[in-house]
Amino acid sequence: MSKSGGWLAVVTVLGALLLPFWAEYAGEPFILDVIIRLMILAIAASSLNLILGYSGMVSLGHAVFIGIGAYAVGIPAYYDLNSGWLQLAAALGASGCFALLTGLICLRTRGAYFIMITLAFAQMMYFIFVSIEEYGGDDGLVIYSRSEMGPGVDLDDNSQLYFLVLFCLIAVMILIHRLTRSDFGQVIRSIKINEVRMQALGFDTFRYRLVCYVISGMICGLAGWLLGNFTGFISPEMMDWTRSGELIAMVLLGGAATVVGPLLGAGIFIGVETLLPEMTIYWHLYLGILLIIVAKFGRGGLLGWWTRWQGRSRP
Amino acid sequence: MDSALVMIQVLNGLQLGVLLFLLAAGLTLVFGIMDFINLAHGAFYMLGAFICATLALWLDSFLLAVLLAVPITFVIGVVVELGIARQLYQADHLEQILATFGLILIADTLVQMIWGPEGLTFALPEILNGQVRLFYDVEFPVYRILIISAGLLVALALYLVVSHTRIGMLIRAGASNRRMVEALGVDIRMLFTLVFAAGAAMAGLAGLMIAPITEASIGMGNEILIVAFVVIVIGGIGSVQGAFLGAMLVGLIDTLGRSFLDDFLRLFLSHQAAETSAPAISAMLIYILMAVILTFRPQGLFGVRSS
């Protein structure tokens, strides 16, 4: 990270730490909700970035892990099991298992087949939850009480939830930063560039990709756990494939294969989603046009633009 | 379960099968030849339904509406190919997904702007509303028979075109090696436009045929599109026969699973357990089928190109 980047990070984190106090002071609690959602989506997008950006596995079903994580809050809560640690373990365990099982099949394929198979498995979970009437089916399930994390912590207090989400986001970003610069990360990035060569060098590339896929799924499950707590309502709609498409859009808007990109992308996405509907009810039209422009001209996303612009202004 | 019910459900399965085939045929050709993942293919399904519904209400004739709506969707297909899709063939899959995802948002919003947020319904002509006696005591709606026959006819026509004409030969050659076809001096761009628009028209036909039964609604193509993706993965990307076989398999398994799986499970499970697990398992069946086929044949049943 460059020196100015480091300063920017410190300022951002400080600002994020002070935000709840400012929101209360200014009487704008709505801001806090927007930022919590932004950060949760940033965690999910970061997890997708790990497989999509760093290791070239384009998954179009990543939102399924958000759904699994959220149902890991909702289903125990339905039976009055409100322990947050239990729910968190369930979220990470279930999303990890799902990633492992589907990964064993998905990762046998490449390119377009991989895209469609991840999509299909996500859709499968979607329809399974639609068909289970016990947990609300299509209508979803209301979570009446947020996770109980132990004495002194009360997630019903929005600012405490905010700090938890912020903590998770920072932890995930540090984890991904470390991971992608480790030996493991080097292998994963190299597989993206030339898998056959890595195999020739003696790496079991299938296993590396599988481990990467499972880690990514579990991080996204964490995001689902947070989202279930935040919204207090879960439904199969959370893992609809359009949600997965939105996650891809976030990664590409911000800049794939960068640690900060998904956060920026989630920021842009939330910005569009919050501001545009106030101007026109047909705001999806403009979002669609934005996505096409990014696909056509926006190589590297916002971060890519920034680096190229810096490269031009400095001789 | 009695045999009449089984017959009816088999016909329902075939109906879903031909609809899936009409969607999947365009997808698999566009994908096989242009290497273009079109998430927005379902938009043509939706447009076909809305255009046909509007025309049927204006002209008061379902037949005329169908005869006009299919060419109109074809023309829209040509416009979309020339205006947008063509720019994206060179892009990688990721960018295609992003752009066509954007196209879905645009198409859904445009439909909402033109036709409003509610769906459109229209009545079938009297003659198509009846039931037809197939044999003994099995009755089936005339219109559904019509859907199945129309779908099978299109499938047959497409098969003849692809396997017995010069254009079909180029299409097959393009699916297995695009560069070679180009190098031999074929105007591949014309071919692309034609294939894309034909795929759009078939998707439109599927949408307008189902519209009188369900309704024309925003986003109606997005869900069935995913199943069409499953179909082409099972059948093998680029293969029309594969798409046909995959569509019929998926249509039948999905429909029969939903109607008879609980009866079947009751053979070894308690009544209660069968009742609760059947819906979830039947929702999974086609994906399990896909997973099994991919485990043994990663390129699908009729894969032209390996993945």
Neighbouring C-beta atoms of residue A212, cutoff 10 Å: 25
By C-alpha distance, the chain B residue nearest A114 is B307
Describe chain A by its helix, strand, coil percentages, rounded to 5.
80, 0, 20
Give the integer Cα–Cα distance in Å for A41 and A50: 14
Predicted confidence band at A314 (pLDDT cuts at 50, 70, 90)?
Answer: low
pLDDT digits (tens, 9 = 90+) for A243-292: 999 999 999 999 898 999 999 999 999 999 888 888 888 888 999 999 99
By C-alpha distance, the chain A residue nearest B298 is A109
In chain B, residues with a C-beta closer than 8 Å to the C-beta of A287 are: 102, 105
Kindly give, in sequence order, each residue whose CB lies less than 8 Å from that of residue B94, ignoring residues fewer than 6 positions away. A52, A58, A248, A252
Interchain pair A284, B91: CB under 8 A: no
Interchain pair A295, B95: CB under 8 A: yes
* pLDDT by residue, tens only, chain B of 307 residues: 577 888 889 999 999 999 999 999 999 989 888 889 999 999 999 999 999 999 999 998 889 999 999 999 999 999 999 998 888 888 888 999 999 999 999 999 999 999 998 888 888 888 888 888 777 777 888 899 999 999 999 999 999 998 899 988 888 888 778 788 888 888 888 888 999 999 999 999 999 999 998 889 998 998 899 899 999 989 988 888 999 999 999 999 999 998 888 888 888 878 887 877 888 888 889 988 988 888 788 788 887 554 3
pLDDT digits (tens, 9 = 90+) for A193-243: 999 999 999 999 999 999 999 999 999 999 999 999 999 999 999 999 889
State the helix-helix crossing angle for B166-176 and B188-210, rounded to 10 degrees.
100
Decide: B28 and B235 in contact? Cβ < 8 Å: yes
In chain A, residues with a C-beta closer than 8 Å to the C-beta of B233 are: 113, 116-117, 120
Q: Please choose, from the candidates A273, A44, A242, the residue with its C-alpha nearest in 3D space to the C-alpha of residue B39.
A: A242
Segment holding B135, helix H or strand E? strand B131-135
In chain A, residues with a C-beta closer than 8 Å to the C-beta of B284 are: 124, 127-128
pLDDT at position A92 over 50: yes
Distance between first and last Cα of chain B = 42
Give the integer Cα–Cα distance in Å for A99 and A293: 32
Domain ranges of chain B: 12-217
DSSP assignment string, A195-217: HHHHHHTT--HHHHHHHHHHHHH
Q: Is the pLDDT higher at B152 or at A301? A: B152
- Name the β-bridge partners of B138: B135
Interchain pair B106, A296: CB under 8 A: no
Query: ipTM > 0.90?
Result: no
Interchain pair B291, A58: CB under 8 A: no
pLDDT digits (tens, 9 = 90+) for A94-139: 999 999 999 998 898 888 889 988 988 998 999 899 988 889 888 8
Q: Which two structure tokens, joined as six digits, stand for B85?
A: 């899709």
Interchain pair A295, B91: CB under 8 A: yes
Domain ranges of chain A: 14-240
Give the integer Cα–Cα distance in Å for B138 and B84: 48
DSSP assignment string, A70-113: HHHHHHHHHTT--BHHHHHHHHHHHHHHHHHHHHHHHTTS-HHH
Interchain pair B237, A108: CB under 8 A: no
Q: Which two structure tokens, joined as six digits, stand for A254?
A: 């911000």
Closest-CA distance of chain B to residue A272, Å: 14
For residue A257, the one-letter residue type is A
Give the integer Cα–Cα distance in Å for B269 and B272: 8
Chain B contacts in chain A segment 28-87 (CB below 8 A): 52, 58, 60
Closest-CA distance of chain A to residue B74, Å: 23
Q: Please choose, from the candidates A51, A75, A73, A52, the residue with its C-alpha nearest in 3D space to the C-alpha of residue A128.
A: A75
Q: Is the pLDDT higher at A2 or at A168? A: A168
| Predicted TM-score (pTM) of this structure | 0.90
- pLDDT at residue A53, as a whole number: 92
pLDDT at position A72 over 80: yes
HSE (CB half, 13 Å, CA atoms) of B273?
A: 7
Interchain pair A113, B298: CB under 8 A: yes
Q: Which two structure tokens, joined as six digits, stand for A5?
A: 């980047």
Interchain pair A132, B290: CB under 8 A: no
- pLDDT at residue A313, as a whole number: 61
Predicted confidence band at A315 (pLDDT cuts at 50, 70, 90)?
Answer: very low
In chain B, residues with a C-beta closer than 8 Å to the C-beta of A113 are: 233, 237, 294, 298, 307
Closest-CA distance of chain A to residue B184, Å: 27
Give the integer Cα–Cα distance in Å for B244 and A193: 36
Neighbouring C-beta atoms of residue A70, cutoff 10 Å: 29
